[in-house]
Amino acid sequence: MFEGRGMGGLKEALKGIPLIPATILVMVVAAGLLGPSVVPYDPVETNLPDSFLPPIWKEGGRMTHPLGTDQFGRDVLSRLVVGARISLLVGCMAVFFSGFFGTVVAITSGYLGGSVDAFLMRMTDAMLSMPYLLIGVALAGIMGPGLINLVIVLAVLGWASYARVIRSEVLRLKTQEFIALARIAGCSTVRILWKHIFPNIANTMIVLGTLQLGITIILAASLSFLGMGVPPPTPEWGLMVAEGREYLSTAWWLATLPGTCILLTCLAANLLGDWLRLRLDPKYRQRA
Amino acid sequence: MQRYILKRLAQTLVTIWIVTVVVFMLTRITGDPVDLLLNPMASEEDRAVARKAWGLDRPAYIQYWRYISGLMRGDFGTSIYWGEPNLKIFLERFGATVQLATFALLVSAITGITIGVLSARAPGGKIDTFGRAWALAGQSMPTFWVGIMLILIFAVTLRILPTSGTGGFRHLILPGFTLGWYSMAAFTRLTRSSMLNVLDSEYIKMCRIKGLPERMVIWKHAAKNASLPILTLLGVQFVQFLSGSLVTETVFAWPGVGRLAVWSVYNRDYPVVQTIVLIVSSGYLFVNLFIDILYAYIDPRIRYE
């Protein structure tokens, strides 16, 4: 993936990266990693005398709470920052597990072919045909609220998209000469899959992962909005929108600001995913 | 052609069968379904009575056989909360969701296709840049937030539209736009790329060389040939709206199948949830089957692959 070595190689690899989305994503990751230790207020501790303070640019806003407070007097900025950690954690873990499982299915199905392929593809079709949000809500309702359960539900919902795309790649690779030569040379199936197939699908996996991150964050927020994801008082962005909904006419910032965070994070992930696809796909590289 | 249809039909039926297995397993993944279906405070005697009444004391394969044979007779089971057939409860609310989905489809298709065609006419121009930004923004916004923002702007601030519920065309506007928002982006992207492919082809160059007005080139020749993938998306999106209406119907208190589904999960009425999943999945699979057969009929190369 990186041509050349050391800093020269990294600089070359990051050439042309869209700066604004990259900056947004770096800020969100920084908020996720450092935020909880540097936020001025405890995101779950209530402070009723200070409830419904507007953001600083509105009349009545205060420097001590730049983005205002919610119905329990909790600082919105602190909750948004801690929410970044939760969204990223859930998103990245779900993408990792669904990608891993989807890839295993794709490689098995694509490389072995025959009845194994037919069966696994019918399973994939079944998963892709089911209304994913409804399955998510049902599964989340059955398993109960919680971060780990949410990650499991999202991983179960997401693997089929990976399986579909990566299987196409594997089918294409299977017909290449270097695979035939590896077989003739006596390589075992496991060795061919690990040494030859897997490195060649890694780029597709990375691009798909980045594009799926945005979708997964939105799905997690939707499940939390419906009360099926992370339970209160944890500051998850989707849950914050749900809680802010009933105060729309009096405290619009409670629902607007968390949603804006979701929008900016997904936008950044999608733009970076598009850039990665152009950067890593050989077809585009040759044209450039 | 017949072989192709039979093969695709067989695949669809196998996939539906897998869906019935998943739906059947849904209430059994955490162990005893009685724990899920009854109130957690229910006594042991109540559990035993419920188990016997719902046939849950029989082995799993017998339960599955009874479930599947019931489905084939059109019996989707009975709701725990309502005490009525699940199919009846589903059909009572299906109309409202179809109404919402149809309006959302019209809005998203008309907007998306128009922007997509105008973008493709002048790639790199102002409309194209706007169209691509719009499509990107559309796919990065959660549906529930779009709904809430529309309520904030049009219902709370401007007070020109109602916040929720049903009652006429005015009540359909905000939920319709919310539901159609995400797919507007999909229509824009697909129309743009489909048109760009077609506009690049030799016969379009021939039309221009012949001196046809640009309006005719775009709408009479290019648009017609670019429309096949767009028609596919229309079919697929409609069915996806039926399932994606969960969030929109919750935000706007729209009395459709989506709201029924969420409510049923909250109230542990899982037989209703199973029915909704099965019907919507089967609908999606049959729409895909129909589209595949249509494609094979139009393009003979597909059936010989």
**ipTM of this complex:** 0.84
- Does pLDDT of A182 surpass 90? no
Least confident of A178-182, A191-195, B53-57: B53-57
Of B18, B29, B280, nearest to A126 by CB-CB distance is B18
Across the interface, whether the CB atoms of B285 and A262 are under 8 A apart is answered: no
- Does pLDDT of B270 surpass 60? yes
- Does pLDDT of B233 surpass 50? yes
Read off the pLDDT of each residue in B7-17 and give the average, rounded to a whole number. 89
A129, closest residue in chain B (CA to CA)? B281
The confidence score (pLDDT) of residue B302 equals 61
Interchain contact A131–B (C-beta under 8 A): yes
The confidence score (pLDDT) of residue A8 equals 60
Question: CA distances (Å), A77 to each of A34, A36, B209, B239, in order?
Answer: 14, 11, 61, 39
Determine the residue among B140, B247, B291 to mutate to test chain A binding: the one whose Cβ has the most chain A Cβ atoms within 10 Å.
B140
- Share the mean pLDDT of chain A: 84
Omega of the bond leading into A145 within 30 degrees of 0 (cis): no
A247, closest residue in chain B (CA to CA)? B152
Percentage of the residues of chain A whose pLDDT score is greater than 70: 92
d(C-alpha A40, C-alpha B230), whole Å: 51
Read off the pLDDT of each residue in B92-105 and give the average, rounded to a whole number. 92
Instruction: Report whether A120 contacts A109 (CB < 8 A).
Output: yes
The confidence score (pLDDT) of residue A284 equals 47
State CA B34 to chain mean position distance: 31
Q: How far is B280 from chain A (nearest CA, A)?
A: 7
pTM over 0.95: no
Using DSSP's 3-state secondary structure scheme, residue B44 falls into: helix
Task: List CB contacts (< 8 A) between B262 and chain A.
Answer: 137, 226
Of A132, A142, A267, nearest to B26 by CB-CB distance is A142
Q: How far is B8 from chain A (nearest CA, A)?
A: 11
Instruction: Output the six-digit token pair for A124.
Output: 């994939």
B283, closest residue in chain A (CA to CA)? A129
Instruction: Report whether B249 contacts A136 (CB < 8 A).
Output: no
Q: Confidence class of residue B248 from pLDDT cuts 50, 70 and 90?
A: very high
Q: How far is B25 from chain A (nearest CA, A)?
A: 11
A220, closest residue in chain B (CA to CA)? B142
> Looking at this protein, which amino acid is placed at residue A74?
R
Q: Which residues pair with A75 in a beta bridge?
A: A69
Of A134, A241, A263, nearest to B148 by CB-CB distance is A241
Q: pLDDT: is A2 or B47 the higher one? A: B47
Least confident of A5-19, B188-202, B275-289: A5-19
Phi, psi dihedral angles at B54 (to 5 degrees) = -95, 5
Of B11, B136, B261, nearest to A134 by CB-CB distance is B261
Across the interface, whether the CB atoms of A122 and B247 are under 8 A apart is answered: no
Q: Which CATH class is domain A61-270?
A: mainly alpha
Across the interface, whether the CB atoms of B136 and A125 are under 8 A apart is answered: no
Beta strands in chain B (DSSP E): none
Across the interface, whether the CB atoms of A125 and B285 are under 8 A apart is answered: yes
The residues near A283 (Cβ < 8 Å, ≥ 6 apart) are none
Read off the pLDDT of each residue in A120-136 and give the average, rounded to a whole number. 85
The confidence score (pLDDT) of residue B201 equals 78
Q: Which residues pair with A69 in a beta bridge?
A: A75
Instruction: Report whether B149 contacts A245 (CB < 8 A).
Output: no
Read off the pLDDT of each residue in A156-173 and give the average, rounded to a whole number. 87
The confidence score (pLDDT) of residue A7 equals 56
Query: Looking up tokens 């691009």, which residue turns up?
Result: A207
The confidence score (pLDDT) of residue A256 equals 93
State CA B38 to chain mean position distance: 31
Task: List CB contacts (< 8 A) between A122 and chain B.
Answer: 11, 14-15, 18
- Does pLDDT of A80 surpass 50? yes
- Does pLDDT of A72 surpass 50? yes
